Structure formats: structure tokens, C-alpha cells
């Protein structure tokens, strides 16, 4: 018998302004469940999560939380005011029975000391502090709204591991596909005010959603109804074009192969970019480039050649100098030593991560037209601003909306619309994926796949880097950067590890009386107790999974099973997929630990 839910929302209704936002939405969270809450920007995901957390009262419906169950909630914009240090802020969120030592251990994983002043934190540091406060009590239910926003790759990968090891239930909103796929076991789709549940992880959600939408369209045609054009575009436009992915993936692999040959081992798309005339074949050449800020080296004798058509991703920990490298490569910032040469006939369009070029008091339409009537010039041709807005998933009613009233994702789309209207053959994108929803990411990926020019981008989104890039420039730390062919996963395979976090400066320890140094053993590094236990138990786990897979495969080999028991056939198919994924994960973890053990012992 299934355990009763810890948290239950049923028939939730909520109105925003004059528009109904939630019209019968619901959530059911069982102990230990991993639930991804998905839906396009503006569908009400954050509102539903706030209602689940008890921070917002619904206009209708019921909310039930099991007595005694503990819950923690991470909002998109955490409030750290009223606390002297980050440690004070985190400790204030602990209950009487919670362990304060766990909070201090989390600081190390999140790259904090606990002594930071909350009023002086950057967006990424504030997000890390809020994560420590939410994770420290180890609650029965953890509600996370965009936990990876403003985090760098080391922090995202650390957070994945931390959340995977939690025993409590997890409800997660995120635009990071890989993060969702690795952590979720069920998916809740919020669409037009109601929720639909898939009892499988996010990795299988998009195919399932397409089936649901196709069934709706067939039903609509049978009833003789017409789908409104704007809603059809917002909800179906991307999925219809996704069927061309096979061709684009093949083209991307060809581009990567061409770049791999150059790098020898050494130390009809609706979102459309206006393209200038063709640039020269050699776009950027950097030779022995060095740059420092004070005593901190950013670049040390870095060299690269970027050819027309390359899509280069720049990755590294926060503070490694990604934006500095980008500005040096495009000639915006001079190097201290070495040379950077831009090719001929370069027309550049840039998107900056701070979005400082947007005037919050200007309307969306005026921002796109620069106040010149109702026309936008795209690729040297006039287009009506309403039609161009719709290309970027805005509705006509938003034309007179002040930019300051737009969400983060909508501002991101607006900047993309402005940047892509200008003719270019070199796109420079600094954190273009921040706050973008999955639909807009699909559009941007397709744009970059079809773009005839060259692309330089900085991003922490691993899935986006894999789908777009033909090459990766990665920070190795201390001013050293390395060029890799392929996407982020290709870089991992070549390098053997991902981006590493920068060291956190610890406050100086109080002086102690000098003592004679003790001789240290040659191998001070050792496996943790958790790793030792996993190394011992994983072989039995893998053997058990292999036996279960064999049993399920024997069941599914019966040609008459589906006709006799379609529900049983589906259940066994799902179980087989789940166990095969678990076996793959267990094998990878065992191999990692075995290699680590050999390194320590040898």
C-alpha cells in the first residue's frame, strides 16, 4: 500500500490581476519523491510553489501538510536582510533538533565561509547562502525554485550530488534540462492553469508532452474548432520544429569533427538572426595572450584560432575570467601581452549578461523600435513590431508593457530580439540562458544551429553547451585555459573531469605557538567512509539490478504480453528503463571510486 502524501494541493485556484492563473491545479508529494514542476514562463509555477510552501493563500482549493512534516522553501529571490553574517542567516533557519555542524559543512561545498556580509553578496553568493539555509535542516520536503540561477558549473554539479543523497522529498523548478533529468523521477506539467502528471523523470517529459498536444489537436479538429494562432505558436511552434533535430545534430557533429581536425593536442526558423555579409574564413586569432588584474592572473600565454562557423563555448568557475577572455577575444579589452587579431568584414552583435542596456521605463515596443513608430528593421527590411514580438513568444497585449514589469526570462528574450535584429556575422552571447524558459532555449538553440556566422558564448548550462557548441575553451585555473573540440560532454571525456571550483579564502586562524613539524604520510588522501561503503556495496547492487533486468526482459520477450495485459506491459517497460538507468549510474560510480582508490594506493 502506497504511503499517504506528505503534501497535497487539490483544486488550487488563483487569479493574477484580471487573468485566472491557476484553475484547478494540484500537487501530491509522497515521502522521498523527486518531482519536477515544469511549464512555460508565466504559467504559474512559482505561484503554485509559494502556495505549497504556505507563503501564499489560494483563492480556492485545499492544501494539506502531514502533521509533524518539516518543509523548507527556496524562493527565486531570497531575502537575507536583518542578519549580520551569512552564518547568522543560515543558523536562524535551523530547528531545535537540527545539527549546526551540517550547516557549516555546507558552506565549504557552496564556496562560502559563513562570515560574508549579506548586504554585500552578489546574486550567486546570495543564492548559495539561501541554499545552505534550505538544505541544512534536512527537511522532509524541499521546495526549490530555480536553484541553479547564478550558480557556476562546480556549484551546480555539487548541488546535484547533494540533492541526490537527500532522503526527503524534492519539488524542483528549473530551466536546466540536465539538472532536471538527473534529479527527477516524476514530472508535473502546469499548462493553462491545470496540472498533468507523468510518473517518469523529465528526460521523458518532452516526448510525452508532444503526444499530449498531438492528441489535443486531433480532438480539436474533430470538433471543428480552430486553434488561436498566438497560443498555437506559444505552445506548439517549438515542438513542430524539433522534428528537424536529427539533421541539425548530424550537422553539428560534422562541424565538431572539422574543428577537432584543426585542434591538435598541445600544452525556417522564426527566431532569426539578421546576417551581415560573410566574414573572412579566419575570424579571431589570439597568440600568447596574457592578462592580470592586480596580482591575479586571468590569462597566461593563451592561443587559439576561431574559424568562420565555429560555435565556441567559454566555461569556468565564477571569477575565473570568462567575460574578460570574451572581451579580449572581440577586441573590447586589450591584453597585457600577446596579440589578438580580428578577421576581415566582421559585423558583431552582442548580448551582455547584466542587461544594463534596457531602460525599465520604456515599453517593450519602443525598446524594439527605438521609439521610431511601429516598425523594426531586421536584416535591412522593415517588420511590424507586433509580428517581431511574437517571434520571441510575446503576445500583442505586451507591446505597451514597461520593460521594468517584465520577468527575468522576458527581459532575456527582449535582449535577444534586439541583438538579433542587427545584421551580424559574429554573435557574442554572455550568459544568454539566464532566466530563459525551455521553449525560448529551444528557439535559441535552433537559431544558433541555423546561423551562418560565428558564435562566442559564455554559459553554465551543460545541456545547452552540448546542443550548440563545436568547441569549448575551459579555465584550468591560475590563468591557464585549454581548447577542446566538441561540446561540454566531449570536453569531460577528453579531460576526465569538469570545471573545478575556485578556492574560498578562509579567515586567518589565530596564531599558535610554533611547534616542530610532524612527518606526514606519503599518501594523506584517503577514501571517505561513504565512498568506502559504496565501493563495498555497489557490486552487490549491480548484480541485483542485472538479475532484475534479466527477469523483466524475459517477461517482455513474450509476444502476447501486450495484447493480454497492456497495463502490465507498460509497467514492466517502465521498470526495465528505470533499472537500466540505475545500473548504468551504479557502474559509473563504481568505476569512479575504483579509479580513485587505485590513485590513492598507487
Q: What is the pLDDT of residue 137?
A: 92
CA-based nearest residue to 378, from 282, 447, 437, 432: 447
Q: Rounded mean pLDDT of the chain?
A: 81
Q: What is the pLDDT of residue 215?
A: 84
- Is 3 known as a binding-site position? no
- Please indicate whether residue 569 or residue 256 has the higher confidence score (pLDDT): 569
- Is 557 known as a binding-site position? no
Two domains, one topology: 275-347+424-492 and 529-601: no
- Is 318 known as a binding-site position? yes
> What number is the average pLDDT over the span 222-243?
48
The domains of the chain are located at: 7-209, 275-347+424-492, 357-422, 529-601
pLDDT at 89 over 90: yes
Q: What is the pLDDT of residue 506?
A: 44
Percent of the chain with pLDDT over 90: 32
Kindly indicate the confidence band of residue 520, based on its pLDDT and cuts at 50, 70 and 90. very low
> What number is the average pLDDT over the span 210-218?
82
Q: What is the pLDDT of residue 569?
A: 77
- Is 26 known as a binding-site position? no
Q: Determine the 3-state secondary structure of 386 from DSSP.
A: helix
Q: Determine the 3-state secondary structure of 27 from DSSP.
A: strand
> What number is the average pLDDT over the span 273-285?
69
> What number is the average pLDDT over the span 320-336?
91
- Is 316 known as a binding-site position? yes
Kindly indicate the confidence band of residue 26, based on its pLDDT and cuts at 50, 70 and 90. very high
Q: What is the pLDDT of residue 162?
A: 92
Residue-wise DSSP of 508-519 = PPPP----PPPP
- Is 317 known as a binding-site position? yes
Q: What is the pLDDT of residue 356?
A: 58
Q: What is the pLDDT of residue 407?
A: 72
> What number is the average pLDDT over the span 463-468?
90
Least confident of 206-220, 347-361, 396-410: 347-361
- Is 127 known as a binding-site position? no
Q: From residue 351, how far is each of 269, 326, 417, 430 by CA, in Å?
A: 20, 12, 10, 6
- Is 554 known as a binding-site position? no
Percent of the chain with pLDDT over 70: 81
* List of residues 6+ apart from 71 with CB closer than 8 A: 7, 53, 54, 65, 139, 140, 141, 142, 143
Q: What is the pLDDT of residue 9?
A: 96
Pairing of the two strands 348-351 and 381-384 = unpaired
Choose the most confident range, by mean pLDDT, from 152-156, 168-172, 401-405, 410-414.
168-172
Q: What is the pLDDT of residue 504?
A: 47
> What number is the average pLDDT over the span 460-482?
90
C-alpha cell at 39: 511549464
Residue-wise DSSP of 340-352 = EEE-SS--EEEE-
Least confident of 86-90, 216-220, 336-340: 216-220
Highest CATH level, class, for 275-347+424-492: alpha beta
- Is 95 known as a binding-site position? no
- Is 357 known as a binding-site position? no
CA-based nearest residue to 310, from 250, 254, 236, 268: 254
Kindly indicate the confidence band of residue 181, based on its pLDDT and cuts at 50, 70 and 90. very high
Task: Please state, in angstroms and rounded to a whole number, the distance separating the CA atoms of residues 12 and 60.
Answer: 6
Q: What is the pLDDT of residue 522?
A: 37
> What number is the average pLDDT over the span 527-537?
73
Q: How far is CA 323 from the centre of its chain?
A: 19
- Is 39 known as a binding-site position? yes
Task: Please state, in angstroms and rounded to a whole number, the distance separating the CA atoms of residues 193 and 24.
Answer: 7
pLDDT at 238 over 60: no
Kindly indicate the confidence band of residue 84, based on its pLDDT and cuts at 50, 70 and 90. very high
pLDDT at 266 over 50: no
The model's pLDDT over 47-82, given as tens digits with 9 standing for 90+, comes to 999 999 999 999 999 999 999 999 999 998 888 988
Q: Domain 7-209 belongs to what topology? A: Rossmann fold (3.40.50)
The model's pLDDT over 439-459, given as tens digits with 9 standing for 90+, comes to 778 878 888 888 888 999 998
Kindly indicate the confidence band of residue 252, based on its pLDDT and cuts at 50, 70 and 90. low
pLDDT at 499 over 70: no
- Is 222 known as a binding-site position? no
Choose the most confident range, by mean pLDDT, from 23-27, 265-269, 321-325, 561-565.
23-27
- Is 371 known as a binding-site position? no
Q: What is the pLDDT of residue 588?
A: 72
Q: What is the pLDDT of residue 553?
A: 78
Across the strands, what pairs with 34?
Answer: 170
pTM: 0.67
Q: What is the pLDDT of residue 229?
A: 46
- Is 323 known as a binding-site position? yes
Out of 1.10.287.380, 3.60.21.10, 3.30.9.10, 3.30.70.260, select the CATH number for domain 529-601: 1.10.287.380
* List of residues 6+ apart from 537 with CB closer than 8 A: none
- Is 409 known as a binding-site position? no
Across the strands, what pairs with 29?
Answer: 7
Q: What is the pLDDT of residue 519?
A: 38
Q: What is the pLDDT of residue 222?
A: 59
> What number is the average pLDDT over the span 133-148?
94
- Is 149 known as a binding-site position? no
Task: State in Å, rounded, how far the first CA of the chain is from the last one.
Answer: 50
pLDDT at 143 over 70: yes
Contact 202, 184 (CB under 8 A): yes
Amino acid at each position: 500500500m502506497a504511503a499517504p502524501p506528505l503534501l497535497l494541493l487539490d483544486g488550487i485556484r488563483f487569479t493574477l490581476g484580471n487573468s485566472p492563473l491557476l484553475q484547478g491545479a494540484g500537487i501530491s508529494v509522497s515521502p522521498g519523491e523527486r518531482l519536477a514542476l515544469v511549464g512555460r514562463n508565466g504559467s504559474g509555477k512559482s505561484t503554485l510553489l509559494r502556495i505549497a510552501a504556505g507563503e501564499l493563500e489560494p483563492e480556492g482549493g485545499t492544501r494539506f501538510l502531514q502533521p509533524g512534516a518539516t518543509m523548507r522553501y527556496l524562493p527565486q529571490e531570497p531575502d537575507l536582510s536583518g542578519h549580520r553574517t551569512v552564518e547568522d542567516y543560515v543558523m536562524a533557519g535551523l530547528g531545535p533538533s537540527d545539527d549546526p555542524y551540517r550547516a557549516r559543512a555546507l558552506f565549504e561545498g557552496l564556496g562560502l565561509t559563513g562570515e560574508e556580509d549579506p548586504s554585500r553578496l552578489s546574486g550567486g553568493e546570495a543564492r548559495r547562502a539561501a541554499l545552505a539555509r534550505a538544505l541544512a535542516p534536512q527537511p522532509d520536503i524541499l521546495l526549490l525554485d530555480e536553484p541553479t540561477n547564478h550558480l557556476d558549473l562546480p556549484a551546480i554539479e555539487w548541488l546535484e550530488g547533494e540533492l541526490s543523497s537527500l532522503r526527503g522529498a524534492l519539488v524542483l523548478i528549473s530551466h536546466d534540462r540536465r539538472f532536471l533529468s538527473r534529479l527527477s523521477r516524476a514530472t508535473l506539467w502546469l499548462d493553462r492553469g491545470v496540472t498533468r502528471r507523468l510518473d517518469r523523470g523529465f528526460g521523458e517529459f518532452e516526448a510525452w508532452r508532444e503526444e499530449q498536444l498531438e492528441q489535443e489537436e486531433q480532438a480539436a479538429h474533430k470538433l471543428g474548432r480552430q486553434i488561436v494562432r498566438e497560443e498555437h505558436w506559444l505552445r506548439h511552434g517549438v515542438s513542430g520544429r524539433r522534428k528537424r533535430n536529427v539533421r541539425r545534430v548530424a550537422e553539428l557533429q560534422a562541424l565538431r569533427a572539422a574543428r577537432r581536425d584543426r585542434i591538435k593536442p598541445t600544452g525556417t526558423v522564426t527566431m532569426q538572426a539578421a546576417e551581415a555579409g560573410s566574414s573572412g574564413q579566419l575570424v579571431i586569432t589570439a597568440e600568447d595572450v596574457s592578462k592580470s588584474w592586480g596580482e591575479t592572473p586571468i590569462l597566461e600565454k593563451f592561443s587559439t584560432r576561431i574559424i568562420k562557423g565555429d560555435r565556441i563555448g567559454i566555461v569556468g568557475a565564477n571569477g575565473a575570467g570568462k567575460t574578460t577572455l570574451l572581451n579580449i577575444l572581440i577586441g573590447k579589452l586589450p591584453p597585457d601581452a600577446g596579440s589578438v587579431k580580428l578577421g576581415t568584414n566582421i559585423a558583431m552583435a552582442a548580448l551582455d549578461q547584466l542587461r544594463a542596456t534596457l531602460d525599465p521605463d520604456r515599453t517593450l515596443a519602443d525598446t524594439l523600435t527605438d521609439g521610431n513608430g511601429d516598425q523594426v528593421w531586421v536584416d535591412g527590411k522593415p517588420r511590424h513590431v507586433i509580428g517581431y514580438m511574437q517571434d520571441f513568444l510575446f503576445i500583442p497585449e505586451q507591446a505597451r508593457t514597461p520593460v521594468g514589469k517584465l520577468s527575468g526570462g522576458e527581459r532575456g528574450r527582449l535582449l535577444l530580439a534586439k541583438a538579433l535584429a542587427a545584421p551580424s556575422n559574429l554573435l557574442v552571447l554572455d550568459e544568454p540562458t539566464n532566466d530563459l524558459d525551455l521553449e525560448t532555449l529551444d528557439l535559441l538553440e535552433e537559431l544558433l544551429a541555423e546561423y551562418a556566422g560565428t558564435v562566442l558564448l559564455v554559459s553554465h548550462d551543460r545541456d545547452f553547451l552540448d546542443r550548440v557548441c563545436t568547441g569549448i575553451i575551459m579555465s584550468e585555473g591560475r590563468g591557464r585555459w585549454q581548447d577542446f573540440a566538441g561540446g561540454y560532454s566531449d570536453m569531460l571525456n577528453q579531460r576526465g573531469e569538469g570545471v573545478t571550483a575556485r578556492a574560498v579564502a578562509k579567515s586567518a586562524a589565530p596564531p599558535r605557538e610554533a611547534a616542530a613539524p610532524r612527518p606526514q604520510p606519503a599518501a594523506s588522501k584517503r577514501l571517505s567512509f561513504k565512498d568506502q561503503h559504496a565501493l563495498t556495496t555497489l557490486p552487490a547492487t549491480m548484480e541485483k539490478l542485472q538479475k532484475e533486468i534479466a527477469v523483466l526482459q524475459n517477461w517482455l520477450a513474450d509476444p502476447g504480453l501486450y495484447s493480454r495485459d497492456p497495463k502490465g506491459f507498460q509497467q514492466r517497460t517502465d521498470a526495465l528503463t528505470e533499472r537500466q538507468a540505475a545500473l548504468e549510474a551504479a557502474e559509473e560510480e563504481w568505476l569512479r571510486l575504483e579509479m580513485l582508490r587505485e590513485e590513492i594506493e598507487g
